[in-house]
Amino acid sequence: MLHLKIFLATIVAIFFLFSCSTSNKKSQAVYQTKFVSGSTNNKIEILDFGGTGEPVLFLSGLGNSAHVFIDFAPKFCDKFHVYAMTRRGFGASEQTTNGYRIDTLAMDILAVTKALNLDKVILIGHSIAGEEISKFSSTYPEKVAKVVYLDAAYDRSSIITTIMPYAPASPIPTANDSSSFENLKVFAKKTTGVSMPDDEMKSTMVFSKDGKYQKDVTPGEIQGKIISGIERPNYTSISCPALAIYSIAGSIHTVIPFYNSLDSLNKKKADICYTMFGNLAREQIALFEKEVRNGVTKEIKGANHYVFISNPVETENLIWEFLK
């Protein structure tokens, strides 16, 4: 259900949240939807935004699909051929029984590059996609040109046990929140702090014919399997140039947008969580700078975990500066 998705996305945000042509009216982004085979012959959704030049592959965070990038990814089509991938188990990609550990997810990326005939690729990933970027670039260095972490470069291997107990309970959508797409969009913005693209919500949630929210496309157990498969990133084996962009929260409301709606007990937990996360961010920046030989870190102060949505101009400029 949506409240479980938001709970898991909040934890990740705090700790670590047949071909056809399609267009999004709001963003005017035009892309082609393709399906290719993953490492276990599983169906994987690819959005092809077109463009010429080196290939760029966007990877989404936990709970999201490739559609989360429909407003941001096209910004790079002038000089790159841009793709976005929906990992197995989410959106229109196949839900498999197994295959959610980080090594298999990295092999899925390898299978995608082969299916798209990409010799070397630039990977840009958000949130937990950082796990896949680190695994892929350290395991298949010959396949990676450069990598960009969008608030994604964290060692999450021990965070679940250290910070997760302090995660505040997330809001549960009311009957009114679930009664229409627009109402749910308002609710989602209050809980995530950003306005998700319509296509993203429609690709990750199930609505009835009369527009009522029914459930998430992906059951919570799949997200749990991905979290349980997390491992410490092998930063020292990443040889390609790497950019890690970090969102540095200006207030607790940036990290936990629904803070004001919490009761006193959960506010206390949120306060502890916020302090711990602030310390963690500094530790993770230092770790990345120490272990990634060709790495550089940049910070966007006051940005939401979804930096490419909350601060698209700054995020785009940092990526262009790195890629030029």
The two tokens of residue 292 are: 């990634």
pTM of the model: 0.91
The C-alpha atoms of residue 202 and residue 47 are separated, in whole angstroms, by 15
Paired strand residues for 205: 216
In this predicted structure, what is the pLDDT of residue 28?
53
CA distance 12 to 45: 23
Are 68 and 200 in contact by the 8 Å Cβ rule? The answer is: yes
Question: What are 9's two structure tokens?
Answer: 């996305």
Task: Specify the residue for token string 């939807």.
Answer: 33
Among all chains, which residue has been given the structure tokens 């709606």? 261
The pLDDT value given to residue 263: 93
> Could you please report the per-residue DSSP string of 63-114?
T--GGGGTTTGGGGTTTEEEEEEEPTTSTTS---SS--SHHHHHHHHHHHHH
Laid out side by side, the sheet with 121-126 consists of 20-23, 30-37, 43-50, 80-86, 54-59, 121-126, 144-150, 242-248, 295-301
CB 66 within 8 A of CB 86: yes
Q: Compute φ and ψ for 238, nearest 5 degrees.
A: -90, 115
Q: Where do the structural domains in the chain lie, given as residue ranges?
A: 2-171+220-323
Question: Contact 255/307 with Cβ under 8 angstroms?
Answer: no
Q: Which pLDDT belongs to residue 161? A: 72
CA-CA distance, 143 to 25, in Å (whole number)?
Answer: 35
CATH number for the domain formed by residue range(s) 2-171+220-323: 3.40.50.1820
Residue given tokens 């998705």 in the structure block: 5
Whole-number Cα distances in Å, 255 to 193, 194, 211: 8, 11, 30
Based on its alpha-carbon atoms, the radius of gyration of the chain, rounded to whole angstroms, reads 18
What pLDDT is recorded for position 26? 43
- Structure tokens of 314? 């700054």
Give the span between the Cα atoms of 34 and 18, in whole angstroms: 7
Distance CA 107, CA 35 (A): 16
Q: How far apart are CA 135 and CA 66, in angstroms?
A: 19
The tokens of 181 are what? 């797409």
Half-sphere exposure of 110 (CA within 13 A, CB side): 17
How many Cα atoms within 13 Å fall on the side-chain side of residue 275?
A: 6
List the chain pLDDT tens, one digit each, 324 residues: 444 444 444 444 444 433 333 333 344 568 999 999 999 999 999 999 999 999 999 999 999 999 999 999 999 999 999 999 999 999 999 999 999 999 999 999 999 999 999 999 999 999 999 999 999 999 999 999 999 999 999 998 877 777 778 888 888 899 999 999 999 999 999 999 999 999 999 999 999 999 999 999 999 999 999 998 899 999 999 999 999 999 998 899 998 999 999 999 999 999 998 998 888 889 999 999 999 999 999 999 999 999 999 999 999 999 999 999
